[in-house]
Amino acid sequence: MRQDHLISATQLSRADIEAVLDRAAEIDADPAAWQGRRAGTVLGLCFFEPSTRTRMSFDAAMKRLGGQTIDMGPVESSSVKKGETLADTMRVVEGYADAIVLRHPSEGAAKMATDFVDVPLVNAGDGAGQHPTQTLLDLYTMRENAGLDGITVGIMGDLKYGRTVHSLASALTNFDVRQHFISPESLSLPRSVRYDLHASGAQVREHTALDDVLTDLDVLYVTRIQRERFPDENEYLKVAGEYQIDVAALEAAKDSLTVMHPLPRVDEIAPDVDGTDYATYFEQAHNGVPVRMALLDMLLANAEPEGDR
Ligand code: NCD
């Protein structure tokens, strides 16, 4: 991968994706061999929105490579509270860190931030925009469980505001994957994402009922309704509680179905699914560490002078 920053999954070619996934598999096979590989490196974590998995797995990834992390902490205890702009925060943090991970509620924030930093910057979620590192671990999990070519994937839930959906749908166009999108009409794919999918020649269909496609699916990727992004709480309440699955709802599915979810889940997947062979979402969350180790290692190598890689 030759990029300096990772802002959108649309940047990633099939070769880029496979390079990260292959490196992650190497790390997974022998994690101890990578300890110390990036000793002396400092990663800046700047999260302007809540996060558990993304923040902690980046933190773990950097430490497992032998580096260290510095964390801006909650927005309430940072200078953002005093009115500091994102541009100024980024200009300052780039002087403290060798790479920056940024999560922000505004779509486009990560792209904008790249104007102010010279160190590699990774978008860990920009509003309803993109979440490309989630996509890399989603693809890693999919490859391990279902393969990445010749499969049928259903993506269900909040396709409008779900940034993990936007990134995943775009990355899947690099593979021989049929994509089915299942959502209430009010939460269907944004026009721009749908346009890009069609322009790439992807095999895409949209539905309002899971039952229309369930029997065809190799992977079902369930997402949370993104309550915090609804301009009107009443609109959220109209769709809350829809598009939930439990073991009974999966009765017609293939035995080999892989059920994924970027987490956190609220009530989209009933706890009775957790103990079944379908459930892959906790494994998926754990894959965040080797995948982010692989990505950080590659981005940091790109940032080094050629002779040091
Ligand atoms: C997702 C996110 O932040 O977009 N979480 C994550 O990073 N695993 C999904 C979500 O919040 O629903």
Is the CB of residue 251 less than 8 Å from the CB of residue 276?
no
Q: What is the pLDDT of residues 78-134, one digit of tens each?
A: 888 888 999 999 999 999 999 999 999 999 999 999 999 999 999 999 999 999 999
Question: Is 125's C-beta closer than 6 angstroms to any atom of ligand 1?
Answer: yes
Return the H-helix or E-strand segment holding 199.
Answer: helix 191-199
Ligand 1: residue whose CA is nearest its atom 12: 224
Single pTM value for the model: 0.96
Q: Would you state the pLDDT for residue 71?
A: 97
Question: Is 67's C-beta closer than 6 angstroms to any atom of ligand 1?
Answer: no
DSSP letter for 52, please.
S
The whole-angstrom separation of Cα 87 and Cα 67 is 25
Retrieve residue 82's tokens: 């005093």
Q: What is the pLDDT of residues 247-278, one digit of tens each?
A: 999 999 999 999 999 999 999 999 999 999 99
DSSP letter for 212, please.
G
Catalytic residues: 53-54, 82, 103, 131
156-183 average pLDDT score: 98
- Domains of the chain with CATH codes: 9-129+288-308 (3.40.50.1370), 132-285 (3.40.50.1370)
- Termini Cα distance of the chain: 13
- Residue 8, CA distances (Å) to 3, 123, 182 in order: 11, 7, 23
Cis peptide bond N-terminal to 74, omega within 30: no
